[in-house]
Amino acid sequence: MGFTEQQQEVPGVQGRMTPIPDCGEDSYRGSGKLAGKAAVITGADSGIGRAVAIAFAREGADVLISYLNEDEDEDAKQVAQLVEQAGRKAVLVDGDLSQPQHCRTIVDRAVQEFGKIDVLVSNAAYQMTHNTLEEISDEEFDYTFEVNVSAYFRLVKAALPHMPSGGSIIGSSSVNSDMPSPTLAPYAATKAAIANFSASLAQLLGERGIRVNSVAPGPIWTPLIPSTMPVEKVTRFGDDTPLGRAGQPAELAPTYVLLASDDGSYISGARVAVTGGRPIL
């Protein structure tokens, strides 16, 4: 398929991409699968998190939209508007997930606004392309784990007292958890950790009636791509999958809805691949 040459500063803004990713704004139709539920979604201003927020709201859930900073305000406000247009409550919270207190702040705000947390989606992630190990600083390596893995732990720990039986926790892993890209080494390692941690949580929390799963996307067209990959990789992004193209965020949303809803009532400890044909075994 191929994309036009484009580059952005990290973390990237969805509204500046060409083409703008399809997050289901015009296509997703809900059927009440999450009626009355309250959800927290990190990285919900753009990409996969945005698609999940839109789908959850149209399925009947109130949504807390967590995002990084003011650079993403416009994207985040658009998501909030779409949530409200679906007749649900939207709560915007910006801040850096690498900071332990901010993870707790997100949960506190959700409980204040919703009174509970039925669904927690730990989706926000940091990545950067590097051709040699020497290019990766200690600070970047640590930050990648703080945002991608440590925040997941902190969010779950803070949310558990407010999650009723029947609740669902979903971690955004990656095809890199099974097929690590050498140029995304720290990111790939965190995505393996997310899948592994989710499987442990499923066993720890089953007796409480809380299900835990992870989703492993393949190449999905999100702001991470033009902001963290060299131009030559952006233009060919996703072309090497068996389906021959990158996926759109909207193509992930139904999987998250399944795992969050009663339709997935006996799915726990799974890593669900949405990869365009790249195998995860």
Positions annotated as catalytic residues are 187
Q: DSSP readout, the chain?
A: ---------TT--GGGSSSPP--STTT----STTTT-EEEEETTTSHHHHHHHHHHHHTT-EEEEEE--GGGHHHHHHHHHHHHHTT--EEEEE--TTSHHHHHHHHHHHHHHHSS-SEEEE--------SSGGGS-HHHHHHHHIIIIIHHHHHHHHHGGGPPTT-EEEEE--GGGTS--GGGHHHHHHHHHHHHHHHHHHHHHGGGT-EEEEEEE-SB-STHHHHHS-HHHHHTTTTTSTTSSPBPGGGTHHHHHHHHSGGGTT--S-EEEESTT----
* Cis status, amide bond into 19, omega within 30 of 0: yes
209 to each of 7, 87, 127, 151, 268, how far by Cα in Å? 44, 28, 33, 23, 10
- Using an 8 Å Cβ cutoff, are 38 and 115 in contact? yes
Token pair, residue 117, equals 């947390």
Find the length of the chain: 281
Q: Which of 215, 171, 174 is nearest to 197 (CA)?
A: 171
